[in-house]
Copies of this chain bind each other. A is one copy, B any other.
Amino acid sequence: MSKGLTSRADDYSQWYNELVTKADLAEHSAVRGCMVIKPYGYSIWEKMQAALDKMFKDTGHSNAYFPLFIPKSFFSKEASHVEGFAKECAVVTHYRLKNDGNNNIVVDEDAKLEEELIVRPTSETIIWNTYRGWIESYRDLPLLINQWANVVRWEMRTRLFLRTAEFLWQEGHTAHATSQEAVEEAERMLEVYADFAQNWMAVPVVKGIKTPNERFAGALETYCIEAMMQDGKALQAGTSHFLGQNFAKAFDVKFTNKEGKLDHVWATSWGVSTRLMGALIMAHSDDAGLVLPPKLAPIQVVIVPIYKNAEEFKQIGDIADALIAELKAKGISVKYDDRDTQRPGFKFAEYELKGVPVRLAIGGRDLQNGTAEVARRDTKEKMSVSREGLADRLENLLDEIQQNIYNKALQYRDEHITAVDSYEDFKRVLDEKAGFVSAHWDGTAETEQRIKEETKATIRCIPLNNPKEDGACIVTGKPSAQRVLFARAY
């Protein structure tokens, strides 16, 4: 607490790492690549979960739970899927430890599994193997299921929330009678994700589709939302996949359609993860700490008493009690920090670091004047306000802050979409300004790969409803019918 954060300008990456740990969001665990999500960080994730879960249910989905382990052979059934996922994974090979006689705990070689189990990196295979038993006819469709779970992808270079070996996520897996319905579902869930990012996280996103190269392993189409961080790097915040009949064919899931004919089922999957925490932190926070949008802030208002004696402390406490009751009645989460072990200045810094949207200080002069000092975390403005009607004002202020945080992120994002028409400009913008670069591309994987190797920029997406525009690929000069969005990305 005493030492400030590294500034974003000095070292953005260091700033992020320090912020995540100092604001008590998460820390590295004793297990390589796995994080501990601390209570304050987890309470933000819980708010995200609650909002998303409601959105999923409002769109007709139910939750279920599938096994953590997937038999190795399942991965071989969908050819492109195994390439994408079965490589870097945690493999369970034994089911028992034993004492070796010298008081060492060792793996019991007698307890070797006949078939190794993979800790799920994603659950398409085990779920579609299960769906085979659940789907017989069109009456069983659509099947709209979501799972909240932990998954593991062995990562060599990890960063808290952004890339960890184990992470928490939700994965939707739906089954449909027609291709069109499945495509509509994939698009619907992309809209849900975009809605959540914008209206809860206050993070503007570009909705688009991935190039074949960047598609989910096993998908015919991958939809994504792409966000822009304050260092000009993009972050993929959520994906939704149209899987065609790939998994239904791999796991032999057929249904009888209305005409009485057998056909393979059509599929989607879609997911967001604790990676969203990284996006939330990086999109809004500043050199003093977290800036949280009120809708996801575990504490929306904190009240700090500033008193000279027990009498003042008591009077302020009474005012706080009444205000807390009013705020709680409005569904606003509020904390009264009456610790006598810390000075107000220490508390102010702590709540700044933790991104509490509104801080209220009540002191001796406020007692006389019937006022309170209101400080906004987003703009750092302070104002003395009357205590009359304060709860209503705070309610409005939280809405205003939510909107302002979004507007600020939107402005930054919009200022960081740069159209270029030459490879030189492309590289210059990436190095000097960063952000999204909108450029013509010839549509080939070769050119995409060359650009990635030479500049570390990838095609983030082909935006939905992208305007058509005749142009020439910035690298090969070949004709192109539309611009696509490039960026260096997390």
| Residue ranges of A at the interface with B (Cβ–Cβ < 8 Å) | 27, 29-31, 34-39, 42-43, 45-46, 62-76, 82, 86-98, 104-105, 107, 116-119, 126, 129-130, 133, 139, 145, 149-150, 152, 154, 166, 168, 341
Chain B residues positioned under 8 Å from A63 (CB to CB): 39, 42-43, 46
User: Do B118 and A97 touch (CB < 8 A)?
Assistant: yes
Residue from B29, B98, B118 within 8 A of A67 (CB atoms)? B29
User: Do A39 and B67 touch (CB < 8 A)?
Assistant: no
16 pairs across A/B with beta carbons < 8 Å?
A31-B71, A31-B117, A34-B67, A37-B65, A38-B64, A42-B64, A43-B63, A45-B65, A65-B168, A68-B150, A72-B97, A89-B97, A92-B92, A92-B93, A92-B119, A149-B150
For the complex formed, measure the closest distance between the CB of A281 and the CB atoms of chain B, giving whole angstroms: 17
User: Do A341 and B66 touch (CB < 8 A)?
Assistant: no
Chain B residues positioned under 8 Å from A88 (CB to CB): 95-96
List 5 extra interface pairs beyond A31-B71, A72-B97, CB under 8 A. A30-B74, A36-B65, A36-B130, A91-B93, A92-B119
Chain B residues positioned under 8 Å from A96 (CB to CB): 87-89, 91, 154
Residue from B35, B46, B91, B139 within 8 A of A107 (CB atoms)? B91
Query: Whole-angstrom distance between the alpha carbons of A442 and B399 in the complex?
Result: 67
User: Do A68 and B126 touch (CB < 8 A)?
Assistant: no
Instruction: Point out which of A62, A71, A92 has the most chain B C-beta atoms below 10 A from its C-beta.
Output: A92
Chain B residues positioned under 8 Å from A72 (CB to CB): 97, 105
User: Do B67 and A35 touch (CB < 8 A)?
Assistant: yes
User: Do A93 and B93 touch (CB < 8 A)?
Assistant: yes
Instruction: Point out which of A38, A67, A86, A152 has the most chain B C-beta atoms below 10 A from its C-beta.
Output: A67
Query: Whole-angstrom distance between the alpha carbons of A74 and B34 in the complex?
Result: 16
Asked if A152 meets B39 with Cβ closer than 8 Å, knowing A31-B126, A91-B93, A95-B89, the reply is: no
Chain B residues positioned under 8 Å from A35 (CB to CB): 67
Which chain B residue lies CB-closest to A90?
B92
Query: Whole-angstrom distance between the alpha carbons of A34 and B127 in the complex?
Result: 13
Chain B residues positioned under 8 Å from A29 (CB to CB): 66-67, 126, 130
Residue from B65, B68, B89, B107 within 8 A of A152 (CB atoms)? B68
Chain B residues positioned under 8 Å from A139 (CB to CB): 341
Query: Whole-angstrom distance between the alpha carbons of A92 and B224 in the complex?
Result: 33
Residue from B46, B74, B90 within 8 A of A69 (CB atoms)? B90
Which chain B residue lies CB-closest to A92?
B90
Residue from B37, B67, B75, B116 within 8 A of A64 (CB atoms)? B37
Chain B residues positioned under 8 Å from A97 (CB to CB): 72, 75, 86-87, 89, 91, 118
User: Do A30 and B71 touch (CB < 8 A)?
Assistant: yes
Chain B residues positioned under 8 Å from A126 (CB to CB): 29-31
Chain B residues positioned under 8 Å from A91 (CB to CB): 92-97, 107
Chain B residues positioned under 8 Å from A166 (CB to CB): 67-69
Residue from B42, B74, B105, B119 within 8 A of A68 (CB atoms)? B119
Chain B residues positioned under 8 Å from A42 (CB to CB): 62-65
For the complex formed, measure the closest distance between the CB of A251 and the CB atoms of chain B, giving whole angstroms: 10
